[in-house]
Structure 1
Amino acid sequence: MEFRGAFTALSTPFTADGEIDEANFRDFIEWQIEQGIDGLVPCGTTGEAATMSHSEQGRIIKIAVEQAKGRVPVIAGAGSNSTKEAIELTKMAKEAGADAALQITPYYNKPTPGGLVEHFKAIAKEASMPIVLYNVPGRTGLNCLPAHLKAIVDAVPEVVAIKEATGNLSQAAQVIEECGKNFNLMSGDDFTVLPLLAVGGCGVISVTSNIMPAAMSNMCKAFFDKDHEKAIDLSLLMAPVNRAMFLETNPIPVKTSLKMMGIFKEATFRLPIVPLQEENKPKLEAVLKTAGVL
């Protein structure tokens, strides 16, 4: 399976009292597809999966699959630092009809390279489906180096892609060197999407595409069409937005942006995430206006 282009790490709309707003989520997915997004990723970091129960995660994945109706692939966040929990979540993703499971490297535990191999082997044994390994050392405290990834891919054929969120282009290039040109290297860092494509990447799992799906998708398409000037122009357009999405911890700025745009009815978060600080709202609004989002 090939994952090509821009996939949105979907933000999850909550009602004012903190419940999942299913109707708003369905409308949001429909807007993403209308805007030309290439794929959807529910229940990742941006979707606040860490504050959801397993049943809520299963429901969100099911809604995304139902609403996508096969028009674009769905990569379902199903990872955990507990292998047992990751297996349970992956089974739910598979039953819901997701095209792949996004599996974060176990956080806090800091497993050895051998432990990583056994973690992914156990998941694939119990719930075999395409797996996108998510490497984000800034959140997990563990960096899955290219040699470690190669060992995982050799032992677990289900691992067909990586969401590489180190921002390290040298490491990203080495992924292709180790795993081959047919391995799906996806950016997990909106600041480095275009250069990552240039070293052999196939796309991005993006935060910014929550609010600029057409721009992110069109940038990837322009690169693949060898229209590099257009790709660079779109990259430059999104650069200030990429920075603004990290004015505070993700997903605070992106969900606030979606509320400013009128796409989300509320900008409700679950603790320990809190709303955007008042002094950052004018900064965020100014960037969105300059980018033509507002």
Structure 2
Amino acid sequence: MDIRGSICALATPFTPEGALDLDAFGRLLDYQIDGGTQAVVVAGSTGEAHMLEHDEFDTLLSFAVRHVDGRVPVIAGTGEAGTAKTVALTRRAASLGADAALVVTPYYVRPTQEGLYRHFVDVADQGGLPVILYNVPGRTGCDLLPETTVLLRDHPGIIGIKEARADAQRIAATAELARADFVYLSGDDGTAVQAMLGGAAGTISVVANLVPAVFRELCDAATAGQADAANAVDARLAPLVDALNGAPNPIAVKSALPWLGLGSAMPRLPLVELAEGTVRDQIRQALIRLAPLAVAA
């Protein structure tokens, strides 16, 4: 399975009343594919996975699989705090037609490296989908170390890692683990160019929700080793990436969905809609500079 390049961690649009907005989700999927996005992640952290009911996860994922219709891989976020629950959710995603599972390190419980190793092996053995490891210590409270990842990459059911630690040392260490059957994907928009120029095969991105064509341009240049071109696109994207960092994900990125006709800005509690003010204005102005024809007046 060729999962690389520009990959979007999709937001989940809700109606103002809080229900799934599948019409808006379909528009978001089309916007991604038309913009060159090469794979999509459904029900990840940007998609408010832990705010979804079981039937909503099934509805959202099955809708995405039908709507995408094989045009790009559909990756399901299936990570839970417990191993048995993660296996069960991964099996459900497999039954609904997902192509792979993005499995975040168990959050809150803070497992040891041995626990992480056994967790991911069980999911890969029993879940029924190719597994992409997902390390994001700032959200989960635990860190999947490279020395554990190097053991996990030998499992035939584990096909890569999304590494969201943005420090140069971790980027370099993870790049050394990449090989033909194990892909390294950046999980941080701000350091995506550094990671891809250093060996990452692509990026699972938040900002791609809003500017998929520009982000595809970035990924194409960076994965081809075209440093000057990649850095030039990165400089254009930087104001929007910086503005989105002004509020927790996905609050900031969802604030821009109405301007693109892609749904409401409403997340689910305990997340709240981004208030009027400086951050919201910065996001809008940065988006207008990048995609002026797409932004509603």
Quickly name the TM-score band, shorter chain normalised.
over 0.9
SS at 1:123 equivalent: helix
Check whether the contact 1:9–1:210 (CA below 8 A) recurs between aligned residues: yes
In the aligned structure 2, how far is the partner of 1:292 from the partner of 1:209? 12
Residues 1:219 and 2:218 aligned together: yes
The answer on whether the counterparts of 1:2 and 1:184 sit within 8 Å (CA) in structure 2 is no
Q: Secondary structure at the match of 2:176?
A: helix
Aligned partner of residue 40 in structure 2, secondary structure: strand
Structure 1 pair 179–38 and aligned structure 2 pair: CA distance change class (3 A): closer
Range 27-36 or range 223-232, more displaced: 223-232
- After TM superposition, list the pairs within 5 Å mapping 1:2-41 onto structure 2: 2-41=2-41
Determine helix, strand or coil for the equivalent of 1:278.
coil
Aligned pairs for 1:164-243 (under 5 A) are 164-178=163-177, 180=179, 182-243=181-242
- CA offset at residue 181 of structure 1? 6.0
Q: Tell me which amino acid in the other structure corresponds to 1:235.
A: D
CA distance in 1, matches of 2:223, 2:83: 37
Q: Which residue does the alignment assign to 2:251?
A: 252
Distance in 1, Cα, partners of 2:115 & 2:226: 43
Partner in structure 2 of residue 47 of structure 1? 47
Structure 1 residue 110 corresponds to structure 2 residue 146: no
- Does the 8 Å CA contact 2:25/2:262 hold for their aligned counterparts? no
The CA distance in 2 between the partners of 1:105 and 1:272, in whole Å, is 22
Offset, 1:224: 3.5
Identity, % of aligned positions: 38
Letter of the structure 2 residue corresponding to residue 169 of structure 1: A
TM-score by length of 1: 0.94
User: Could you say which residue in structure 2 is the equivalent of 1:132?
Assistant: 132
Aligned to 2:97: 97
Contact 2:91 2:127 (8 Å CA) reproduced: yes
Gaps of 5+ in 2: none
Equivalence for 2:76: 76
The aligned amino acid for 1:198 is L
CA RMSD of aligned residues (A): 1.5
The Cα of 1:226 is off from its aligned counterpart by 4.4
Aligned to 2:276: 278
Change (3 A) 1:30 1:168: same
- After superposition, the C-alpha distances for 1:42-88 in whole angstroms (9 at most, x for unaligned) are 10111111111122112211111111111111111011011121111
Is the contact made by 1:132 and 1:163 (CA closer than 8 Å) also made in structure 2? yes
Give the whole-Å Cα distance in 2 for the aligned partners of 1:283 and 1:30.
26
Q: 1:182 to 1:122 in 2, by over 3 A?
A: closer
SS of 2:3's equivalent in the other structure is coil
Output the amino acid matched with 1:277.
A
| CA separation of 1:224 and 1:281: change in aligned 2, threshold 3 A | closer
Could you tell me how far apart the structure 2 residues matched to 1:292 and 1:28 are?
Answer: 15
User: In 1, are the aligned partners of 2:210 and 2:257 still within 8 Å (CA)?
Assistant: yes
Find the counterpart in structure 2 of residue 88 from structure 1: 88
8 Å CA contact 2:197, 2:223 repeated in 1 = no
Are residues 225 and 179 of structure 1, via their aligned partners in 2, closer, same or farther at CA, if it must alter by over 3 Å? closer
Q: What do residues 165-222 of structure 1 show as CA deviations (whole Å, max 9, x unaligned)?
A: 0112321221232454652110110001111012210000000000010111111112
CA contact (8 A) 1:7 1:205 kept: yes
Provide the C-alpha distance between the structure 2 equivalents of 1:83 and 1:23, rounded to a whole number of angstroms: 33
Cα distance in 1, alignment partners of residues 12 and 101 from structure 2? 18
Find the aligned partners of 1:274 and 1:140 in 2 and give their Cα distance. Answer: 20
Aligned residues: 292
CA distance in 1, matches of 2:285, 2:210: 15
Classify 1:121/1:139 alpha carbon distance in 2 versus 1 (closer, same or farther; 3 Å).
same
Contact 2:153 2:160 in 1 (8 A): no
